[in-house]
Structure 1
Amino acid sequence: MLTITLAQADGSWENPEQIRGAVAAFVKAHLPGNAAQAHVAVQGPAPGLRFPACRQMRMGFFGYSNPYGNQTVAVTCTTPSAWTIYIPVQLVMNQAVVVAARPLGAGTLLAADDLSIIRRNASNLAGSAVVDPQLAVGQVLRFGVAAGQPILASMLDAPEVVHAGQEITLIAEGDGVRISTIAKAMENGRPGQTILVRNSSSGKVIRGTVDQAGAVLVPF
């Protein structure tokens, strides 16, 4: 909650422009660094609404404050009259975002020519938009997208580096000891996923975590 002391307003009623200006300044002060250039559009107060002149206002976000999207600011006057108004705010962030250059199906391993860059308002996207194509190249789409659709981080998976039936290196680590052996993968796996493998020497089935190189790690 931020308290703002204002100059005495002229007349009996608060100036709507002063309320809008105070709300815009409050929202801008709370924007993350990568949204500092966003345009803040204050929606209100509604025409015809009048509030007694205020010398001290308090500002605070009402409900969930999305730093990259629409917000609501609660404006409360504490003196000389007590009143509260809720002001909707829209953020417009025109920035470069990565989009699909053509319709792409689920499971597509993305290449550079699958992607384009356009400028658009990113504040109304449902997730974190990818802004650098190199962050998407080599990733796998979790589901299909239309041409021109923004690529979000939540749409992407790392490619599978282990496939069922493949011989892999099984590494057991613990207490400064590292032992490697050969095993057979029983499931497909991406880095960070846990899969089942069968130790080729003992025949024992073990659950381990796939690393970036395609080995499977198990603690002991």
Structure 2
Amino acid sequence: MKGLVLTIVFLLIFTVYCFANEMLIEAIEKFAVEKFGPEATIVSLHIRSSPSSFDKIQLISHNRSKSFFRFLFKAYREEKFCGYVRIECELAIFANVLVVNRTVRSNEVLSENDVTFQKVNLLALNVEHCTDIDQVVGKIVRKMFRQNEPLDARYLMKPPDVRAGQLLTARMTIGPVVATAQVRAMRDAYIGEKISVRNVSSGVLIEGLLQEDLTVLVIGG
């Protein structure tokens, strides 16, 4: 008889425990979906402290370190506050993103052979991840990426339209006359940017706007 009573008590405790766990999991799943979308999932969950039993919870705060979260819930039993529930868990959104398959140094140009897709937890990243090969191939990296590190779009740039030292044609309009001169670019530049160039014949340094045809329109001309 005593054994039967103990079994019943155990089953009741186990049922209450499972109910409480389900309640907490549902609350965190709701938080994850509302904040990050339906792809968000719980990877791990650990209850740090909790009342022995409760039938209602209220999320009052959370903090985050990348994909790791700490939650603080108020717990209630029969509508009366009975303590706090503290939970640590990891959330994830798994996706295939582009990573480098070798160490790539700053100012290198990426080729298709330099990158590969790898499934990662996006919540663990602090990058603007890339999911399209066209986002990265031919781009110049502006920081070092180590092997298997996800690429960050913030540090990828298209090659400049003009390289330092490149010979260009500068033109200036003076009334009905258009004057041209051969000049040398002093730095890398993109179309639409202001660029400093040096007149090859006179050595004079001038400034102009780089045009789509890669001529330099002298400012003030």
TM-score, with structure 1 as normaliser: 0.63
Aligned to 2:30: 25
User: How many Å apart are 1:105 and its aligned residue?
Assistant: 3.2
The change in CA–CA distance for 1:206 and 1:110 in structure 2 (over 3 A counts) is: same
User: How many Å apart are 1:87 and its aligned residue?
Assistant: 2.7
Q: Tell me the distance in 2 between the aligned counterparts of 1:211 and 1:41.
A: 53
Q: Tell me the distance in 1 between the aligned counterparts of 2:216 and 2:28.
A: 53
Give CA deviations for 1:48-107 in whole Å, capped at 9, x if unaligned.
63266254x4335524586xx333333234742164444333123332121223343332
2:64 is the counterpart of 1:59:
no
Aligned to 2:138: 138
Residues 1-220 of structure 1: pairs in structure 2 closer than 5 A: 15-32=20-37, 36-41=38-43, 43-46=45-48, 49-50=50-51, 53-55=54-56, 57-59=57-59, 62-63=62-63, 69-77=67-75, 79-81=79-81, 83-166=83-166, 167=168, 185-190=185-190, 195-198=194-197, 205-206=206-207
User: How many Å apart are 1:161 and its aligned residue?
Assistant: 1.8
Aligned to 1:3: none
User: How many Å apart are 1:110 and its aligned residue?
Assistant: 1.3
User: How many Å apart are 1:140 and its aligned residue?
Assistant: 0.8
Which residue identity does 1:43 align to in structure 2? L
User: Which structure has the bigger radius of gyration?
Assistant: 2
- What secondary structure sits across from 1:148 in the alignment? coil
Which residue identity does 1:16 align to in structure 2? N
Further displaced range: 158-167 or 78-87: 78-87
- RMSD in angstroms over aligned alpha carbons? 4.2
Superposed structure 1 runs of 4+ greater than 6 Å apart:
210-213, 215-220
Q: Tell me the distance in 2 between the aligned counterparts of 1:128 and 1:51.
A: 43
Structure 2 gap ranges (5+): 1-14, 173-177
Q: Tell me the distance in 2 between the aligned counterparts of 1:211 and 1:38.
A: 47
More helix by share: 2
Give CA deviations for 1:19-64 in whole Å, capped at 9, x if unaligned.
23212222222214xxx32322352322x63266254x43355245
Q: How high is the sequence identity, in percent, across the aligned residues? A: 17
The change in CA–CA distance for 1:118 and 1:16 in structure 2 (over 3 A counts) is: closer
